[in-house]
Amino acid sequence: MASLLPEFSLFTVYFSLLVKINLILDRPLGHVGFFVSMRSFPSLYQINYSRGGVPKLPVVEAWVSVDGLRRDGHRNKVLHGGPDRAICVFSFEVIQALRQEGHTMYPGALGENFTLIGLDWAHIQPGDHMKVGEEVRIEFTSFCEPCRRIAQWFHKKDYHRIDQQQYPGWSRLYARVLSEGTVRQGDRIFVEKLSEGILQ
């Protein structure tokens, strides 16, 4: 199967700038006519990829395997990657809230592969399952411990602002892949909170 992750192009650079502009203006991406607004239901706001390190840049679609996004890389393979940390996930609303505090991150800057929109992020916990689009299913495994590589996007380099122990509900999460497949920007997502028997 041909790779679904192309080399970075002018489109990728343009799209990354488009996302940053909409964050500054506090508007969903659809308000510039590029995509339909995705605030009406939980969905995959952005897919992010890099050959290693941060920021990760947006792609429209990607193949997801038990090892993560195809051709996505990590500089530190001791702390990142592996079957139980195949995918890093974060919330668009949390990113917006952090920006309102004076931080400068944007989707993908903190190294997440999936930026989600429309979820009550503070209630997502390890053990919860999530279906992304028609094929992919993941299980959240653990909270991500922040590292100094992302300090550049935090006021006074306080990257511990998204440490789960210090600020519960503000952390990124890792996930393992239960079902492989292709994900596309705008895919609807469903979260199954197994501990509570709730489907969101």
pLDDT (tens digit per residue) in 152-168: 999 999 999 999 999 99
Strands of the chain (E only): list them. 43-49, 57-59, 61-65, 68-69, 87-91, 114-117, 129-132, 136-143, 173-179, 181-184, 189-193, 198-199
Whether 192 and 199 have beta carbons less than 8 Å apart is answered as yes
Q: How far apart are CA 163 and CA 184, in angstroms?
A: 29
Q: What pLDDT, on a 0 to 100 scale, did the predictor assign at position 53?
A: 85
Q: What pLDDT, on a 0 to 100 scale, did the predictor assign at position 75?
A: 57
Average pLDDT over residues 77-104: 89
Q: What pLDDT, on a 0 to 100 scale, did the predictor assign at position 52?
A: 81
At residue 14, does pLDDT exceed 60?
no
Summarised one tens digit per residue, pLDDT across range 114-141 is 999 999 999 999 999 999 999 999 999 9
The domain ranges of the chain are: 10-199
Q: How far apart are CA 109 and CA 118, in angstroms?
A: 19
What is 10-199's CATH topology? M1 Pyruvate Kinase; Domain 3 (2.40.33)
At residue 1, does pLDDT exceed 60?
no
Q: How confident is the model at residue 193 (pLDDT cuts 50, 70, 90)?
A: confident
State the pairing for strand pair 68-69/181-184: unpaired
Q: What pLDDT, on a 0 to 100 scale, did the predictor assign at position 80?
A: 60
Average pLDDT over residues 145-155: 95
**The tokens of 122 are what?**
């503070």
**The tokens of 40 are what?**
């009406």
Work out the mean pLDDT of the chain and round it to a whole number.
83
Q: How confident is the model at residue 2 (pLDDT cuts 50, 70, 90)?
A: very low
